[in-house]
Structure 1
Amino acid sequence: MQTETYMQQLEESQKQPITFKEIVWAIFITLVSVYSYVTYGTLMDIYEIGILIGTAISWIWLGRFWPSMRPFTYWVSALTILALWSYHNHGNVFEAKDTAFFLKFLVSSESATMWMSALLVLATATYFFALFNKSEFTAKTATTMVWAAMVFGFVGMMVRWRESYIINFDYGHIPVSSLYEVFILFIVMTGLMYLYYEQKYKTRALGGYVMLVISAAVAFLLWYHFDRGAHEIQPLVPALKSYWMKIHVPANFVGYGGFAIAAMVAVAYLFTERSLKKNPESTFAARMPSLEIMDDIMYKVIALGFAFFTIATVLGAMWAAEAWGGYWSWDPKETWALIVWLNYAAWLHIRMSKGWRGTPMAWWAFIGLFITTFAFLGVNMFLSGLHSYGEL
C-alpha cells in the first residue's frame, strides 16, 4: 500500500505542467554539459561521454522531481566557478590555494571541506536545541546550515577534481577514489538524502539523530585530514583508472547513506517508543514524528539504499572482471559487501512477506549500521586484499 501510494504521488508530480523555472533548469544543465564536453571531450572515452549524458538527463529529472536541487546546484556552480576563476587568474597556480583570498578562506577543496564540517557539527547541536525547545525558527536554521554544508561539500569535491589536474595532469581523477574522498562523498550523499526526507515528511525532529552519524563521519574525516595528511592528492593506483569508478562508487554511497539514515531513525524510534511506554502523554514523544512515520522512513531509505547498493555491487563485479580478470574473488571487501546486501535483503523480505514492523525492525536497522560500518571502514582497518588501496 505504501509503495502504491508513493508511485501514485510520483505519477501525479510528473503530470504537472512544466514551468518556466523547469525550462530554465533544463537549459542550464544542458549548457553545462555541452560546455563540459567541448572543454574536456578529448579526455573522455565513449563510456565517459555516456556517463556525462546520463548524468545530465538524471540531474534534469532530479531538479523536476525535487525542486530544492535547483537552487542547490546553482549555488554549487557559482562557488565552483569562483574557485576555478581564482585559480585561473592567479599568477602562480600552485600557490593560489594559500594566497588567493577566496581560495584560502572559502572555496579551495580544503577550505570548503572545513566549512562543511563546521556547519554540520553546528547543525547537529542546533537540531537538538530546536527539538527540546520546540523552536521552529531554530529548526529552520539547522536545516539551512545543512543545506549550506552540502553546498560546500559538493564544491569541495568539484574543486578537488580540478586541483588534482593542477598538481599533476597524470594525477587527475574524479574525487571518489581514496578513503578521504569517499568520506566526503558519504557525508554529502547522506546529508542530501536526509534533506529530501525532511521535506517529504515535513518534520525536522529527526535532524539531530541523523546528523549524529554524519558528525561522526566528520570527526573521522578531520582526524584523517590532520593526523594522517589524507587530504593530500595522490596518484591513482592502476585499477582505479577506469570509468567504472565514476558510477560504482557514487551508487555504493547512496546505499551506505540510506542505511545510515535508517539506523539513526531507528534510534529515534526506539527512544520515542520507550518514552511512550513510560508515559503515553510524554512531551518528548509529542515532539517526534509518529512511530508509523518513522517506521515508514526506515522502510523507504533502506529500500532506496538497497536498490542502489545492488546496482553498485553488480557494477563492482563487472569492474572486477575488467581489472582483475574475474567477477568475484572473495576479497574481504567483496565478501563484506555481500554480507551487507544479504542483511538488508533479509530485512526487506521479512518486512514485505511477514509484515514485521516496529521495534524488531528498528533494532535490526540499528544493528545493520555496525555491519555496514565494518564493510565501509573496518575492512580497510583490519583486513587486506585487492581493495587495499583504501587502507588507513
Structure 2
Amino acid sequence: MNSILQKRCWQDYLFALLISLTGIVTWHRYGSFLDYYEQGILLGAVAGLIWLGWFWPALRWFFPVCGAIALAAIGLYQGDLARGQSAFWLKYVLASQSAVMWMCVLFFLAMLMYWFGMLKRSGTVLGIASGLTWAAAAAALISKLVRWYESYLIGSDIGHIPVSNLYEVFILFCLITALMYLYYEAKFDQTRDQKEQSARAMGAFVLPVICAAVVFIIWYTFDRQAHEIQPLIPALQSWWMKIHVPANFVGYGAFALAAMLGVAQLVVSKSWLVNRLPSYDTLGEVMYKAIAVGFLFFTIATVLGAMWAADAWGGYWSWDPKETWALIVWLNYAAWLHIRLIKGWRGNVLAWWAVIGLLVTTFAFIGVNMFLSGLHSYGGL
C-alpha cells in the first residue's frame, strides 16, 4: 500500500482531495435522503472516481470539467425547469436534451474525421477526431448529470438516476464506449512501434458503432418523444438499478468495441487499409483486452442482477428470457476467453467470433424486449 501511495504525484492527491470534498458536500446536503445502501454507493463512487483518475490521468481533468459545467447548468435553472426553454445557454447548449444533441453532432463529426485522417494518414486530422470524441463524451456525461437534476425539479418522487429506459441507457452506452476507446487509443498509441500506423486510426472502425447508437437516440427522441422524463415504474424503483445497469453497460460497451476492432482486424487480414491501420496483432490485442474487461463487468452485472431478482421477486434465477440470454452472452465470451488464453487461439476465428458475439449481445439487450415476454418486459421500443 505504501509503495502505491509513493508513486502518486501531487496532481493525484489534488484530484483525490477534489473528489473527496465533492463527496463530503454531497453527503452533507443529501445524506439524510439516502438509505444505507445508497450511502454505500456514494462512498464507492468516490473511491471509484479517485481510482479511475489515478489509473488514467486524462480523467483528472475530464470529470472535474464535466462536473463544473453541469453545476453551471444546474445553477442556470434557479430551481425552475421551465427556464430550460427560455434561458439561452440552457435551451441551446446545457439542458440535458441540448447536450445530447451536441453529443450526437460531435460523434458524427468525429467519425468523419477519423475516416478522413485514416485514409489520408494524417496525424493532425486524427488528433482532431480524438478531440471531438472527448468533447462528445463530455457532452454525454454533462447531459446525464443535468438530466438527473431535471428529474428532481419535476418532483422528488420522480427524480432518479438517468439509466432507467432505452433513451437513457443508449446515451450511457455512447459515453462508456467512447471513454473505453479513448483509453485504448492513448495507451496503444504510446506503445506502438515507430513504423506502425497511429492507434488513433482504430477510431474509424469504433466510432460507427457509437454513431449507430446515436441514430437510435435521434429516432427514439423525435419519433417516440423518449427524451421526456418519466416516473420510474415500480420494477425499477430500487437502489440495485444504480449499480446493475452501469456495470452491464461497461460490458456492452467493451463487447461493441471489441467487435468493431474485430472488423478492423479482418480488413487488415485481407490486406486492405494495411498501411493505414495498426498492425493485425495490435488490433487483436486491443480486442482481447476489451473483451476481458467487458467480461469482468458483465459477470459483476449478472451477479448483481441475480441479487436484485432475489430482492424483488424472491428468487435469484427464474430462467426469464432476459436472464437466459444474459447467460448465453456470458457463456459466449467465457468460451472466447478460454479459447484464447488456454488453447492459444489467435487470428480471424476470434475476430469473427467477436463480431458474431456483438449480434448475440444486441439481441440479448434489445431483441429479447421486442420479441419475447417475461419479467423484464418493461423496456420495449
TM-score band by shorter chain is: over 0.9
Q: Which amino acid aligns with 1:386?
A: L
Q: After the TM superposition, which residues 240-279 of structure 1 pair with which residues of structure 2 at under 5 Å, given as runs?
A: 240-275=236-271
- Give me the whole-angstrom Cα distance separating, in 2, the residues matched to 1:388 and 1:43: 30
Report 1:342-353 matches (<5 A). Answer: 342-353=331-342
| Amino acid aligned to 2:270 | R
Structure 2 distance, partners of 1:234, 1:270, is 43
Q: Write the deviation string for residues 170-205 of structure 1: whole angstroms up to 9, x where unpaired.
A: 111000111111111111011100000001101101
State the SS of the aligned residue for 2:157.
helix
Alignment pair present for 1:57 and 2:47: yes
Kindly indicate whether residue 81 of structure 2 is the aligned counterpart of residue 94 of structure 1.
yes
Q: In 2, Cα distance between the equivalents of 1:375 and 1:244? A: 20
1:306 aligns with: 295
The one-letter amino acid of 1:52's match is L
The 1-side partners of 2:312 and 2:288 are apart by 35
Shift of 1:114: 0.5
Percent identical: 57
TM-superposition CA deviations, 1:104-143 (whole Å, max 9, x none): 1111110011111110011001100000011111101000
- 1:374 is aligned to 2:370: no
Alpha-carbon distance in structure 2 between the residues aligned to 1:191 and 1:359: 25
Match of 2:70 among 80, 83, 90: 80
Give 2:208's aligned residue. 212
2: CA distance, partners of 1:335 / 1:369: 16
Structure 1 position 389, deviation (Å): 1.6
- Give the CA deviation at 1:42: 1.5
**Which residue identity lines up with residue 391 of structure 1 in the other structure?**
G
1:97-246 equivalences in 2 (<5 Å): 97-202=84-189, 203-246=199-242
Deviation string 1:202-252 (CA, Å, 9 cap, x unpaired) is 110100110000000000011001000111111111121111111110000
Q: CA deviation at 1:17?
A: 2.7
Q: Which residue of 2 aligns with 1:280?
A: none
The correspondence of residues 356-375 of structure 1 with structure 2, limited to 5 A, is 356-375=345-364
| C-alpha separation in 2, matches of 1:332 and 1:39 | 41
**2:309 alignment partner in structure 1:** 320
**Equivalent residue for 1:3?**
none
Tell me the residue number matched to 1:285: 274
Amino acid across the alignment from 2:227 = H
CA contact (8 A) 2:263 2:351 kept: yes
Match of 2:58 in 1: 68
1:35 corresponds in structure 2 to 25
Q: Which amino acid aligns with 2:13?
A: I
Return the alpha-carbon distance in structure 2 between the equivalents of residues 289 and 344 of structure 1.
Answer: 24
Shift of 1:15: 7.0
Q: Is the 8 A contact 2:81 2:150 kept in 1?
A: no
Moved more, 213-222 or 322-331: 322-331
* Cα distance in 2 between the residues matched to 1:15 and 1:191: 29
Equivalent residue, structure 2, for 1:334: 323
TM-score (norm 1): 0.93
In 1: Cα distance, 2:220 partner to 2:112 partner: 23
Q: CA deviation at 1:16?
A: 6.0
State whether residues 261 and 283 of structure 2, in contact with CA within 8 Å, keep that contact through their aligned partners in structure 1.
Answer: yes
Counterpart CA distance in 1 for 2:135 and 2:25 is 26
* Equivalence for 1:20: 10
Q: Name the SS of the counterpart of 1:389 in structure 2.
A: coil
User: AA paired with 1:328?
Assistant: W
